[in-house]
Chains A and B, each alone.
Chain A
């Protein structure tokens, strides 16, 4: 009896999957016939988790594809490692660019030929195949609170007037004299110091790959590098006016963001993702991101650093069925070509779209800045091939500098030593 039941169930399941296959073939790309398929999405962007869950509910209703969104606060690599080990991967995973490079070969399907590929400059390709779908554009720079500055100086603040460090220092002095004694904040987290700030020293080099290999070989001379010194001069200025100068290394991100949002401080290095924290407080509307001020003539002080950020890839293993993959592809197309998808990305999540056809209205102030730099072609590319331990080890060295336990030469030496003892990342 039991066997009979099993056989019947199996037969039914096979029949169902056969018809499902036919369905998806006939409606290639249309996505109308994916009803009843379930897909899972891994979201690694905590600030939009609530929005994603809400979207999943609506999308499930309108498309008939059952979507579930998951988040984990474990390291992305650790979390996905457990999912792969247990043969239970997500249909769609959102990860950082560097993770795409390490995961795609084994776990991602080829997305070449998808419609959205032509509409973006940020897709990730490996071995000639498109594997990563860019979710948004993000960029790093100096976040400013315009209202706070103008309130103290009494003059209109125009970020373009402060591209040089000299001009910027003049402004800081004025702010300090005007009552805002400590107008800057510094994020002490290793991912910010090394992952975001230090990496700009590499990213703003003329030949980034060449510079990185010279670091590996030990032939790079950081202490006499113009980019390094320009960045560090800026950093020293920020340290001098840091509101938490006494215990810079204990400044909590939440506190710094609140001070910036509410205008107690006016400047902090960050990116447009910081808006998700700023908007939890009583923020000023007039904020934005400007290039890091530097005394340089190479033009880097007129650009932000950034580009595509967070990438979706679709699982290639046998644990994901063709129908699921099709439903996942349809979902990506929905994000780019459907009005509801567009409004989800730009209005609900306030992400700067990575696609030329998406009209971004209703962005937050930081994203507006980023978009204007991106549209004008004023973004310096991210370098996505830093070794996995770079942010942690160089971040620790940088924290020492921030705490005053080492000087610039010492920091340069530590960073050089790190690179010399690290095996190059192939790409």
Chain B
């Protein structure tokens, strides 16, 4: 059978990827294109008319100070959260692959936060920060705990970061665990013979060989942090005084609460572009540093 004719290629592609392509286009691409069209209208979300306004919504976006503030805040939050998530996840992964007793039990424990949906998770943590911690602080007179952290600007941000670390560290841990296990024993043995200490062999041998795990984890955490919405909504709802409104939440408010659907949609699209650029850049840089095993 000839395998380089166009018709063979088409048949193969359709047989294996036909359904996927069709569904992907139907569910993601078509609505996305329609979504882009909506950014060119001044629709309010509920009326029947969708007046075409060209690029006016994009112009309005540049005048929306609150949006860029939220964007800046999202950058700051993502930067800190991504670093912390990955450090914690890496340490967890190291500890649960070092052969301690009950490592499967620990792995399951660290992974459990992933089993809860984002909105519910936010409400549970709000309860923890606002009531449990405060009750703890009051009954043991621990100063910093006796008032809710969610009450201050910095505190609310800190809470969001803590919850993100708690939520994602277990997931990323799994990826790092896999990374650790993919570094073959032979290489480590060789390092040991050359006189490497444990720490040295991690820094100089394991880490470079795990670049792909880092790239993957960073991509996942960066994109998730940039698009954070559920936890933002249920944990802080933007409070205090709208100082913890992240980009995705601002977009939602702009579109639906303030009823500027077109502007909200345009802002969401810009958020998408930013996410995509940061994500791709990060993968690109990461891949350049990849060592082939």
Tell me, yes or no, whether A and B come into direct contact in the complex with CB atoms closer than 8 A: yes
Given A247-B151, A249-B151, A403-B151, A396 and B256 contact (CB-CB distance below 8 Å): no
In the complex, which of the residues A84, A106, A247, A392 contacts B242, with contact meaning CB atoms closer than 8 Å?
A392
Answer yes or no: A400 CB below 8 A from chain B CBs.
yes
A206 vs B162: C-alpha distance when bound (angstroms): 50
Answer yes or no: B118 CB below 8 A from chain A CBs.
no
**Which of chain B's residues have a CB closer than 8 A to the CB of A249?**
151-152, 239-241
A81 vs B261: C-alpha distance when bound (angstroms): 10
Answer yes or no: A107 CB below 8 A from chain B CBs.
yes
Given A84-B46, A252-B130, A77 and B256 contact (CB-CB distance below 8 Å): yes
In the complex, which of the residues A102, A190, A252, A389 contacts B46, with contact meaning CB atoms closer than 8 Å?
A102
**Which of chain B's residues have a CB closer than 8 A to the CB of A1?**
none
Q: Is the CB of B240 within 8 A of A106?
A: no
A199 vs B239: C-alpha distance when bound (angstroms): 20
Most buried by B among A102, A249, A388, A405: A249
Contact indicator per residue, chain A 393-416, by CB within 8 Å of chain B (1) or not (0): 101110110010100000000000
**Which of chain B's residues have a CB closer than 8 A to the CB of A5?**
none
A109 vs B227: C-alpha distance when bound (angstroms): 40
Cβ of B41 to closest chain A Cβ, rounded Å: 13
- Count A interface residues, CB 8 Å: 33
Answer yes or no: B253 CB below 8 A from chain A CBs.
yes
Interface residue SS majority, chain A = helix
Q: Residues of A with Cβ closer than 8 Å to B?
A: 74-75, 77-78, 80-81, 84, 102-103, 105-107, 188, 190, 246-250, 252, 255, 387-389, 392-393, 395-397, 399-400, 403, 405
**Which of chain B's residues have a CB closer than 8 A to the CB of A395?**
241
**Which of chain B's residues have a CB closer than 8 A to the CB of A77?**
45-46, 256-257, 259
Q: Is the CB of A75 within 8 A of B256?
A: yes
Given A249-B151, A388-B257, A397 and B241 contact (CB-CB distance below 8 Å): yes
List 15 contacting pairs A-B, 8 Å CB cutoff, sorted by A: A74-B256, A75-B256, A77-B256, A78-B256, A102-B46, A188-B240, A247-B151, A249-B151, A250-B148, A255-B131, A388-B257, A388-B259, A389-B253, A392-B242, A399-B240
Q: Is the CB of B147 within 8 A of A247?
A: yes
**Which of chain B's residues have a CB closer than 8 A to the CB of A81?**
45-46, 256, 261
**Which of chain A's residues have a CB closer than 8 A to the CB of B44?**
102
A-B contact count (CB 8 A): 80
In the complex, which of the residues A80, A387, A392 contacts B253, with contact meaning CB atoms closer than 8 Å?
A392
A393 vs B254: C-alpha distance when bound (angstroms): 12
Interface residue SS majority, chain B = loop
Beyond the given A247-B151, A252-B131, A403-B152, please list 15 additional residue pairs across the A-B interface where CB-CB is below 8 A: A74-B256, A77-B256, A78-B252, A81-B45, A81-B261, A103-B46, A249-B151, A252-B130, A387-B258, A393-B242, A396-B238, A396-B243, A397-B241, A399-B240, A403-B241
In the complex, which of the residues A78, A106, A397 contacts B48, with contact meaning CB atoms closer than 8 Å?
A106
A75 vs B229: C-alpha distance when bound (angstroms): 15
Q: Is the CB of A388 within 8 A of B258?
A: yes
Closest B residue by C-beta to A76 = B256
A252 vs B130: C-alpha distance when bound (angstroms): 8
**Which of chain B's residues have a CB closer than 8 A to the CB of A255?**
131
A75 vs B255: C-alpha distance when bound (angstroms): 11
Interface size class of B (residues with CB under 8 A): 20 to 34
**A-contacting residues, B144-187, CB 8 Å:** 147-148, 150-152
Closest B residue by C-beta to A317 = B48
Cβ of A134 to closest chain B Cβ, rounded Å: 21
Cβ of A390 to closest chain B Cβ, rounded Å: 10
**Which of chain B's residues have a CB closer than 8 A to the CB of A397?**
241
Q: Is the CB of B45 within 8 A of A250?
A: no
What 5 A-B pairs come out closest when comparing CB atoms?
A250-B151, A250-B148, A78-B256, A81-B45, A247-B147
Answer yes or no: B292 CB below 8 A from chain A CBs.
no
**Which of chain A's residues have a CB closer than 8 A to the CB of B3?**
none
Q: Is the CB of B241 within 8 A of A396?
A: yes
Contact indicator per residue, chain B 241-284, by CB within 8 Å of chain A (1) or not (0): 11100000000110111110100000000000000000000000
Cβ of B254 to closest chain A Cβ, rounded Å: 9
A246 vs B241: C-alpha distance when bound (angstroms): 16
Given A81-B261, A102-B259, A392-B253, A400 and B46 contact (CB-CB distance below 8 Å): no
Answer yes or no: B47 CB below 8 A from chain A CBs.
yes
Cβ of B226 to closest chain A Cβ, rounded Å: 21
**Which of chain A's residues have a CB closer than 8 A to the CB of B238?**
392, 396
Closest B residue by C-beta to A99 = B46
**Which of chain B's residues have a CB closer than 8 A to the CB of A74?**
256
**Which of chain A's residues have a CB closer than 8 A to the CB of B259?**
77, 102, 388
Q: Is the CB of B47 within 8 A of A106?
A: yes
**A-contacting residues, B43-76, CB 8 Å:** 44-48
A395 vs B253: C-alpha distance when bound (angstroms): 14
Closest B residue by C-beta to A248 = B151
A405 vs B241: C-alpha distance when bound (angstroms): 10
A106 vs B43: C-alpha distance when bound (angstroms): 13
Given A77-B256, A246-B147, A250-B151, A399 and B241 contact (CB-CB distance below 8 Å): yes
A247 vs B151: C-alpha distance when bound (angstroms): 6
Closest B residue by C-beta to A406 = B241
A389 vs B64: C-alpha distance when bound (angstroms): 13
Cβ of A311 to closest chain B Cβ, rounded Å: 15
Q: Is the CB of A78 within 8 A of B45?
A: yes
**Which of chain B's residues have a CB closer than 8 A to the CB of A403?**
151-152, 240-241
Given A75-B256, A107-B46, A250 and B147 contact (CB-CB distance below 8 Å): yes
A74 vs B47: C-alpha distance when bound (angstroms): 18
A415 vs B263: C-alpha distance when bound (angstroms): 23
A328 vs B159: C-alpha distance when bound (angstroms): 47
In the complex, which of the residues B47, B150, B241, B258 contacts A250, with contact meaning CB atoms closer than 8 Å?
B150
Q: Is the CB of B46 within 8 A of A247?
A: no
**Which of chain A's residues have a CB closer than 8 A to the CB of B258?**
387-389, 392
A77 vs B44: C-alpha distance when bound (angstroms): 10
